[in-house]
């Protein structure tokens, strides 16, 4: 498990491919790899990877399967790319962000970047099928960083996040450009609630479900929001 609090920015080193497996060597900040063992988990831009070798005190090797390359941004990286890194949380660790599995759900694209002095806003465009799990003030993991969605436009298919200077300092997100892809992990509790509500409605209404959804939409109600907590969460 991870907390979504990025612990440092690492750099992609060498990349080699053999028999459908990509081996990536990554250079970490001094001290990041202290007591790190083979078999340990590290989240790289939000993707949980397993340590396969530790050739130096700061360099670590990972094997990445084809499936992970297909559903994340790891297949797009070249040597020299900056990535967010977080080691697996230990028992009793403070959860400064929100619990993450390191299993990326989908990639999304940066639509807009708005910089105003120390304010940094990202508008992130999302495939419509994932919008049902996104709500204002809800948690989202962007390249492994736990962030709070400020606004969500389900019709246009985007959400935005605002990053404080500390988040920009500790992550590689501030180096991104419009059009870049990001790894997204949705908040699991929200996903479970939304899916349970939809399944319950469909089980009870059957073929009438689409009609029920249209009626709700006409009234300005999102079917996915029924029963979902709107409790404010920590801003990042």
Sequence-separated (6 or more) residues with CB below 8 Å from residue 46: 72, 84, 100, 102, 104, 141, 142, 143, 144, 145, 183, 184, 185
Structure tokens at 212: 């029920």
In DSSP notation, 42-81 reads: EEETTEEEEEEE--SSSEEEEEEEHHHHHHSGGGG--TT-
Structure tokens at 214: 């249209």
Mean pLDDT for the chain overall: 87
CATH number attached to the domain at 8-87: 2.40.30.20
- For residue 232, what pLDDT is reported? 40
DSSP H helical segments within 56-208, as ranges? 66-71, 165-170, 188-205
**Taking a C-beta distance cutoff of 8 angstroms, is the pair 206, 121 a contact?**
no
DSSP H helical segments within the chain, as ranges? 66-71, 165-170, 188-205, 209-218
DSSP H helical segments within 153-187, as ranges? 165-170
Looking up tokens 């500790």 gives 170
DSSP assigned state of 102: S
Do 8-87 and 105-236 fold alike per CATH?
yes
- Which stretches of the chain score pLDDT less than 50? 219, 227-235
The closest of 102, 68, 74 to 87, measured between CA atoms, is 102
| CATH architecture of the region 105-236 | Beta Barrel (2.40)
- For residue 194, what pLDDT is reported? 83
Bridge partner list, 87: 42
Q: Where are the domains of the chain?
A: 8-87, 105-236
């Amino acid at each position: 498990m991870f907390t979504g609090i990025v612990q440092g920015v690492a750099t992609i080193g060498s990349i080699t491919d053999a028999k459908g497996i990509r081996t990536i060597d990554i250079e970490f900040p001094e001290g990041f790899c202290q007591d790190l063992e083979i078999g340990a988990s590290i989240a790289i831009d939000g993707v949980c990877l397993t340590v396969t070798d530790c050739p130096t005190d700061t360099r670590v090797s990972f094997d990445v399967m084809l499936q992970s390359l297909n559903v994340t941004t790891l297949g797009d990286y070249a040597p020299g790319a900056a990535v967010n890194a977080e080691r697996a949380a230990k028992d009793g660790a403070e959860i400064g962000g929100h619990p993450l599995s390191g299993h990326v759900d989908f990639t999304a694209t940066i639509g807009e970047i708005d910089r105003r002095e120390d304010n940094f806003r990202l508008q992130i465009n999302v495939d419509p099928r994932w919008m049902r799990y996104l709500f204002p003030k809800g948690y989202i993991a962007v390249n492994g960083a736990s962030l709070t969605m400020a606004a969500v436009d389900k019709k246009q298919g985007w959400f935005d996040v605002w990053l404080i200077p500390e988040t920009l300092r500790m992550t590689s997100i501030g180096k991104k450009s419009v059009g870049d892809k990001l790894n997204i992990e949705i908040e699991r509790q929200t996903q479970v609630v939304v899916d349970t509500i939809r399944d319950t409605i469909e089980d009870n209404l059957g073929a009438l479900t689409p009609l029920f959804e249209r009626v709700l939409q006409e009234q300005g109600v999102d079917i996915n929001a029924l029963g979902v907590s709107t409790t404010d969460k920590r801003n990042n």
